[in-house]
Amino acid sequence: MKPRLIALGDSALLIQFGDEIDPGVNQRVHELDALLNLDKPAGVVETVPAYATLLVHYDPLLLTYAETSDWVNAELDKVRSAASRKPRRIEIPVRYGGVSGPDLDFVASYHKLSVQEVLRIHTSHIYVVYMMGFTPGFAYMGKLDDPIATPRLETPRTKVPAGSVGIAGAQTGIYPIDSPGGWRIIGRTEVRLFDLAADPVFLFAPGDRVQFVMEALDA
Amino acid sequence: MLEVTEVSGLATVQDGGRAGWRRFGVPASGPMDVFAFRAANMLAGNNPDAAALEIGSGDLVLRAMYDCVIAVAGVGHNLSVSSWNYSPWSSCLVRSGWTIRLSQAGFGTWSYLALAGGIEVPGILGSRSTYLRGHFGGLEGRLLRSGDVLQKVRGVPPLIELAARSVAEEARPAYNAAPTVEVIPGPQTEHFDRQSMETFLSNPYKVSLSSDRMGYRFEGPRLELPRGADLTSEGLMAGAIQVPADGLPIVMMADCATAGGYPKIASVISADLPLLAQCTPGRDKVRFRSTTVEAAQQKFRKLMLKLKMGILSAEEDINFIVAGA
């Protein structure tokens, strides 16, 4: 099925593959994203993959909406023939519970599971970086197995430390920098996700596969 | 070099914006009023997207530490250099030791000061724009403060060609305190009932005091979201109008988040975003009017072409300034 193309203002084109969080839909977003970035015409500024959509930012002084959508439509015809790139897989060591993961006990009791069972589920899946946003380097990952999907805090914390690993609904993610946040924090990693002095600056890219590894469990 | 001697309000270094990093969650940043920003750079003989100073709702006083040419464009500030008053939308020669004063006045919020040759600050992720919430870009990722010294980028082209230029008034957007700004409806029109679209397009909305470089909030009739305000997050850009559950529209501005999860009723067109940006929060009222993407893109091209054609030199003024200096 062809996605729907629609103008978002006069400088962006939204490609809608669906409107829900679904691994298959997200996969199609990343396939088209990779293809569009192989050879962008002058005037296409950048693309931003999200859960079920791909946003193409373009310079309206250089391209019209019709020219941009013609280009996207021509590329869409090539998607099926394009060999999909093998996604990168990144392991993230995590210190779970204790001061690193103040909400781990809540997540366990919310689901009537033991802490060990929550960890087993969280570390046994390979998650997909569906999209990035919120703060520089923040990766929205899923899809969490239903047994540990947990609603956000009712009142967000004013400061969540960098490296905190959290759960929000059926998503999991890591805070790249200290920031306010409402995700349930179950652990923390020492790995830097965003470092202006590093190369690459961002550890994750949309479409990456991520697996959490238990480094320690604090009481 | 220019030394900051006094500053109040939101003064930052901005260039044309940070392209290519929105997929990682890094906002584009850049100027609030792209027309005035480009005008200042073009007056100063710079690349239109070169780094310049943005000053919002406050005053800025600088001291020149060498002979240079500056250009100021924008709305809401008076300009004086040494003991002379200048109209904004012009460039002028500044001798070493002279004081440049931008003081808040009348309607408007943002002005731009470009230095012939551009301003040298380190490029972060390919841009010199300040991203305040991220604490990077511009001058150490922060607002300007007194004592800061701004370096010029490179050797300045012959001063005489750049001083005393101006942007013809008829080439500028019709800035005013009650603008009608055009919007392209969508893409989530189906999240709103028919009455809400009519309400949105037929009532004035006051720019709220809780507006900033990230977004302008509004006070006015609330819009109904019968299907709720939750949308699976998707990409955003400046101009997009998100409507959260309280039914009050938020227009995303220069430091706009890269993605958002509220339905978008419409987007302000590029040509009219400067008109909206210059409105004073807590005071000015805006009306929204529907247009098409084709008409919007033509309007923006025409506006930027008018700017290019509207840069005037004034030979007499140059001779006077140079002789008198």
- Model pLDDT for residues B159-201, shown as the tens digit of each residue: 777 888 999 999 999 999 999 999 999 999 999 998 999 999 9
C-alpha angle B30-A207-A85 in degrees, rounded to nearest 5: 115
Query: Which residue segment(s) compose the domain that B191 sits in?
Result: 180-305
Judge if A103 and A201 occupy the same domain.
Answer: yes
* Cβ contact A7–B20 (<8 Å): no
Nearest residue to A88 (alpha-carbon basis) of A213, A176, A204: A204
B144-169 tens-digit pLDDT: 999 999 988 766 555 777 888 999 99
Chain A nearest C-alpha distance from B269 (Å): 6
Distance CA A159, CA A154 (A): 15
Instruction: Decide if B71 is inside a domain.
Output: yes
Tell me the shortest Cα–Cα distance from B22 to chain A, in angstroms: 6
According to DSSP H, which parts of B108-209 are helical?
159-162, 194-202
> Which residues in chain A touch residue B293, judged by CB atoms under 8 angstroms apart?
7, 9-10, 65
Instruction: Indicate the average pLDDT of chain A.
Output: 94
Write out chain B residues lying below 8 Å of A48, CB-based: 22-23, 235, 258-259
| A198 in reach of chain B (CB within 8 A) | no
In this structure, are B116 and B57 located in the same domain? yes
Beta-carbon separation of B22 and A137 below 8 A: no
Q: What pTM was computed for the model? A: 0.93
Both A142 and A158 in one domain: the answer is yes
Q: Which residues of B touch A132 (CB under 8 A)?
A: 23-25, 258
Residues in chain A where the model's pLDDT stays below 50: none
Q: Is the pLDDT of residue B63 over 50?
A: yes
Both tokens of A17, joined, read 């593959």
b/e string for B287-311 if b means 16 or more Cβ within 10 A?
A: ebeebebeebbebbbebbebbeebb
Question: What pLDDT was estimated at residue B187?
Answer: 95
Q: Does A70 lie at the interface with B, CB-CB under 8 angstroms?
A: no
User: Does one domain contain both B230 and B213?
Assistant: yes
Provide the pLDDT confidence category of residue B71 given band limits of 50, 70 and 90.
very high
Average pLDDT over residues B255-284: 96
Query: To the nearest whole percent, how much of chain B has pLDDT over 70?
Result: 95
- Residue A179 belongs to what H/E stretch? strand A179-181
Give the largest CA-CA distance in chain B: 69
Long-range pairs, B296-300, Cβ under 8 A, ≥24 = B296/A9, B296/A10, B296/A60, B296/B182, B296/B184, B296/B269, B296/B270, B296/B271, B297/A10, B297/A60, B297/A64, B297/A65, B297/B270, B299/B182, B299/B269, B299/B271, B299/B272, B300/A10, B300/A60, B300/A61, B300/B269, B300/B270, B300/B271
Contact B233 A20 (CB under 8 A): no
Secondary structure (3-state) at B160: helix
Residue A197 C-alpha from the chain's centroid: 23
Query: Region B42-56: what's the mean pLDDT?
Result: 96
- B21 plus B87 within the same structural domain: yes
Q: Considering only CB atoms, which chain B residues are within 8 Å of A135? A: 25, 134
Q: Which secondary-structure segment (H or E) carries A13? A: strand A12-16
Q: Does A69 touch chain B (CB under 8 A)?
A: no
Q: Which of A24, A58, A81 is the last residue of a domain?
A: A81
Q: Which of A46, A136, A202 is closest, CB to CB, to B19?
A: A46
> Same domain for A172 and A204?
yes
B69: in domain: yes
Residue B148, in any domain of the structure:
yes
| Interchain CB distance below 8 Å, B239 and A11 | yes
B234 and B202 in one domain? yes
Q: What is the mean pLDDT of residues B262-287?
A: 97
pLDDT tens by residue, A143-153: 887 789 999 89
In whole numbers, what is the pLDDT of chain B averaged over residues? 93
Please report residues of B whose CB lies closer than 8 A to that of A53: 232, 234-235
Residue B175 lies in a domain: no
Nearest-CB residue to A61 (from B232, B236, B304): B304
B156, B286: one domain: no
pLDDT of B152 reads 81
Same domain, B30 and B129: yes
Distance from CA of B249 to the nearest CA of A (A): 15
Asked if residue A104 and residue A132 are part of one domain, the reply reads yes
Rounded Cα distance between B14 and B111, Å, is: 12
Domain extent at residue A144: 89-218
Structure tokens at A175: 């805070």
pLDDT of residue B318: 46
Alpha helices in A45-184 (DSSP H): 65-76, 104-110, 115-124
Grouping H, G, I as helix, E, B as strand and the rest as coil, residue A44 is strand
Shared domain for A125 and A50, answered yes or no, is no
Q: What is the DSSP letter of B84?
A: E
Would you say residue B141 has pLDDT above 60?
yes
The reply to whether B301 touches chain A by the CB within 8 Å rule is yes
**What is the 3-state composition of chain A as percent helix, strand, coil, each rounded to the nearest 5?**
20, 35, 45
Q: What is the CATH number of the domain that holds A181?
A: 2.40.100.10
Q: Which of A184, A86, A45 is nearest to B19 (CA)?
A: A45
How is residue B163 written in tokens?
């001083």
Domain boundary residue among A59, A81, A103? A81
**Cβ-contact B66, B96 below 8 angstroms:** yes
- pLDDT, residue B156, reads 57
Interhelix angle A65-76/B293-309, rounded to 10 degrees, is 130
B293, A10: Cβ pair inside 8 Å?
yes
Which amino acid type is present at position B49? Answer: D
Number of domains in chain B: 2
Asked if the model's pLDDT at residue B263 lies above 60, the reply is yes
Helix count and strand count (H, E) for chain B: 6, 23
**Which CATH number does the domain housing residue A38 bear?**
3.30.1360.40
Distance CA A120, CA A165 (A): 15
Helix boundaries (H) for chain B: 34-43, 159-162, 194-202, 273-277, 293-309, 315-324
Question: Which comes out higher in pLDDT, residue B230 or B54?
Answer: B54
B324: confidence class by pLDDT, cuts 50, 70, 90: very low
Q: What is the mean pLDDT of residues B212-227?
A: 95
**B191 and B83 co-located in one domain:** no
Cβ distance B173 to B191 under 8 Å? no
Q: What pLDDT, in 10s, does the model give residues A1-30?
A: 789 999 999 999 999 999 888 889 999 999
Which residues are bridge partners to B56 per DSSP?
A: B10, B110
Tell me: do B34 and B162 sit in the same domain. yes
Paired tokens of B43: 């007056």
User: Is residue B251 pLDDT above 90, yes or no?
Assistant: yes
